[in-house]
Amino acid sequence: MTSGRSLDTRAVHAGRDDLVDHGVHAVPIDLSTTYPSRDTAGEAARLDTLATGEQVPGMPIYGRIGNPTVGRFEDALAELEGCEAAVAFASGMAALSACLLAGVAAGKAHVVALRPLYGTSDHLLSAGLLGTTVTWVNTAGEIAGALRPGTAFVIVETPANPTLAEVDLRALAEACGDVPLLVDNTFATPVLQRPAELGASIVLHSATKFLGGHGDVLGGVVACAENHARTLRQIRLATGAVLHPLSGYLLLRGLSTLPVRVRAASATAAELASRLVSHAGVTGVSYPALAANRPARQMTGGGALLSFEVAGDPHAVLGAVRVITPAVSLGSVDSLIQHPGALSHRVVDPADRALGGIGERLLRLSVGLEDVEDLWNDLDQALKAGAG
């Protein structure tokens, strides 16, 4: 374990501490779907244990039960988030689905959710596709009154997608009482915010974003206590929403540069946000570092995302960018810009989008690692083109 060292050091070494003992420098990629054994009786006993979600030494018997390469990524992410365990899935939505199914399995099918959330998360909760019901609230002050005996957890995304609004996690955890708080930490990453230290019981990531960091891997991960991780592993075994070993390798590799990437992109995002405030083509900017009355001692810095309302045609702005990539997703080394109302939050009812502060002229920018002046010049010319 590398606990006690700085986050930067842990990001490099977590999940790799035993490589010297194995005589290798790069993380091995285990692509096996099955693991042979001549001790069938012994394997039967191990399988009985693994089926409960408990981790036991030795090979995982079958790729749907577990994978050594993916296990390294899980160990590393759990360490960075300060949790006992982590369970990886094929995508962020598969990870959220497993959390909901864990609630249903425990006889708790109700969820309280604070808008805005990622659009597909909103849709999954609202549609009740997994047998859950949801009570939506618009402020943290409404949380306590929305709780029920059958509430599985309270879910919040902070900074919010796509408005970048922050929620005080310490106050929210207190309002939740004994009900677990699930925090989507995709935007902040453990570099800028560690929800478990602030009272959260479950920390969820779309690993596709900053954890991978290069726009070439899909994945999701949940960091939590070991007892909850066991249930999630059972659900993953039964549903098959497993992370591919190559994806596990890429995500672990992504963690090693995560602090450097997030801090560099955040510095550029802060500069762009400050300039956009006074741009004639912009009517409003949302960026955590610009907000008044931010939660104290919660998120370090403003992060690598910002959103802004344009005075002209937002779709014309998107059509005019040349350095920035007009695409959904976020957290890549290249900057990405998109229209939430048309894409990432299209599945959310228009009235609910409006209640969540997602206007039709809102654009969300995920800042990458390009030169700040090149990004600014591209934004400036695109905003002027959008003005007509």
Could you give the residue numbers annotated as active site? 64, 118, 184, 209
For the CA atoms of the chain, what is the radius of gyration?
21
Count of CB atoms within 10 A of residue 226's CB?
13
What is the four-CA torsion angle of 42, 45, 46, 49, rounded to 10 degrees? -170
Gap between the Cα atoms of 143 and 182, Å rounded:
13
CB atoms within 10 A of CB 36: 8
| Separation of alpha carbons 364 and 353, rounded Å | 14
Please, are residues 220 and 95 in contact by the beta-carbon 8 Å criterion? yes
Strands 181-184 and 305-310, how do they pair? unpaired
**Please, is 23 exposed, middle or buried when counting C-beta atoms within 10 Å of its C-beta (0-12, 13-18, 19+)?**
exposed
Q: Which residue in 19, 1, 4, 20 sits closest to 76, CA to CA?
A: 1
Distances (CA, A) of 388 to 103, 313, 316, 317, 327: 51, 8, 8, 10, 22
Which phi and psi angles does 29 have, rounded to 5°? -105, 115
Burial 369-385 (b: 16+ CB within 10 A, else e): bbeeeebbebbeebbeb
Task: Answer for the pair 262, 299: CB distance below 8 angstroms, yes or no.
Answer: no
Residues in the chain: 388
Can you read off the two tokens belonging to residue 165?
Answer: 């609004």
- Name, in order, each residue with C-beta under 8 angstroms of 385's C-beta and a sequence gap of 6 or more: 316, 317, 319, 320
CA distance 348 to 212: 26
